[in-house]
Homo-oligomer: A and B are copies of this chain.
Amino acid sequence: MLEKIDLTKTVSDKEFNEALPRLKARLSVLQRILRDRKIPTIIVIDGWNTAGITMSTHSIIQSLDPRGFTLHATGRPTEEEKESPFMWSFWIRTPARGRIALFARSWYSRAITTEMQKSGWKKSLEGKSGPINNFERTLTDNGAVIIKFFLHIDKAEQKRRLEERERNPLTAWLVTPLTWNIHYHYEDSLPYIDQFLEKTDTPYAPWHVIGATDRNYVILKVYSILVKTLEKRTESVNDSKSKKERLREPVLPKKNPVKRISVPENTCTKEECQQTLSNLQIEMLELHYLIFKRKIPLIIMYEGWDAAGKGGNITRIARYMNPLGYDVIPIAAPDETEKDHHYLWRFVRHYPRAGHVAIYDRSWYGRVLVERVEGFCSTAEWQQAYHEINDMEADYVHSSGGGIVKFWLEISKEEQLRRFQQRANDPEKIHKITEEDWRNREKWDLYDEAIDEMLARTNTEIAPWTVIESDDKWYARVKALTTVIDCVKNLL
């Protein structure tokens, strides 16, 4: 992609001054339209050092209402970012609907600078393109528009600019020995970066590579592409038509069915179970300490029927861990801010740092359960979610080196009724049963169907489901703890 770029294009000051005002005015209007239509926009400006990223960013900003965008400059990773999965710091910066997120350098720069420091970085840079494409695709499938610019200059031009920067006392501090070192490797790195761009050049998020030798040309080109892309996106008055066009036919993952039973073959008495839990306690504490020391993150995720016992199970598991090393994330209906973001955003925010454990009480599977049954999202959206979820979980495991344990707590329909009635009749527990629980129960068969499909389509090798037979809550707690222990042993 980079070879073909014409680096000699220029634009005269006269032409620049004639064309720019119209483009700026248009961009300003388009921002308002995007805001009214609640379309989230991501603009990425990346490229070689000194190619003009800061200058272009500064220029674009002058046409935007500052209350409607956020600028994210990607620099060296912070402590927290180094201990989080690769895409996490960018996921948390994805914009709410109607807002613009402008990235001056992005996950592309981060990938290049991170990988460049390792040996054999051709392979590892390629390895990043998969997760990046998944990230961009799920965002665009769920309504975002992504516009990516790569500002390209040749080695001689970069040298010229670095020397100029060095001579100016106000900017000399930006040019370090490391800067020159990276410059010397320009020719070595060019083919890898080129391939990286090729692999991340997609129909839903194409690259716009711009020859950046001439300042006027770069700015005009960036504006033109922004205006053209955003006009196309907003041309139909009703965004739902273009939404239909954008959403590809959902690709459903192959089924890998999981059997659900609520009573295991071999169970234990309450006393036996409690004794087993007690015995396992020390082992769990030691293992938790080891994943903390070795900085391995762990996600434990609970789904299940209402009244299946998620809360009690989580409480017991948590007891056997050092409280400074885990967080419990209770998931309920999304609030307004969360509804304004991609549906996975609110879960990714809580990813555990290296060495920490995050226990999700309900999860992103709500998309294919309650949202499917209640119609909170379209059929195409939940059908697509299986694939998106599998990608997200795989990317998490690969980029964090951590593990993910997924529990489905199964009880029989009769047992659920028994527990509901028990709660309704007990003044100490009546608060635990609500109208919503009864309404969900009426849709048992619809949920049953949704659960079977969910388990079958997201039971992957990297993140398998474990069904916990939960009619007997003490057995359920033992099974959950032993499953977690086995998973952690495998990680260490």
**A interface residues, Cβ below 8 angstroms from B:** 29, 32, 36, 54, 57-58, 61-62, 65-68, 70-71, 73, 78-80, 104, 170, 289, 311, 314-315, 318-319, 322-324, 327-328, 330, 335-337, 359, 361, 428, 431
Tell me the minimal C-beta distance from A484 to chain B in angstroms. 15
Q: Establish whether residues B65 and A104, one from each chain, have CB atoms under 8 Å apart when the complex forms.
A: no
Q: Are A311 and B65 in contact (CB under 8 A)?
A: yes
Question: Are the C-beta atoms of B324 and A54 separated by less than 8 Å?
Answer: yes
21 residue pairs A–B, Cβ–Cβ below 8 Å: A54-B324, A57-B323, A58-B322, A62-B319, A65-B311, A66-B314, A66-B318, A66-B328, A66-B359, A67-B311, A67-B314, A67-B330, A68-B330, A70-B327, A71-B327, A73-B324, A80-B80, A104-B323, A170-B289, A335-B335, A336-B336
Report the bound CA distance from A230 to B310 in whole Å. 27
Main secondary structure of the interface of A (DSSP, over half): helix
User: How far is the CB of A178 from the nearest CB of chain B, in Å?
Assistant: 20
Chain B residues within an 8 Å CB radius of A29: 428
Q: A71 touching B431 by the CB < 8 A rule?
A: no
A275 to chain B, nearest CB (A): 18
Please give the count of copies of this chain that the complex contains.
Answer: 2
A59: nearest residue on chain B (CB-CB)? B323
Q: Please, how many angstroms separate the alpha-carbon atoms of A65 and B412 in the complex?
A: 25
- Cross-chain contact B324 with A431 (CB below 8 angstroms): no
**Bound: A234/B54 CA distance, A:** 56
Residues of B contacting A54 with CB < 8 Å?
324
Closest B residue to A310 by CB, please name it.
B67
Q: How far is the CA of A319 from the CA of B323 in the complex (A)?
A: 47
Known: A29-B428, A71-B327, A104-B324. 5 other contacts (CB 8 A): A54-B324, A66-B318, A67-B314, A78-B79, A170-B289
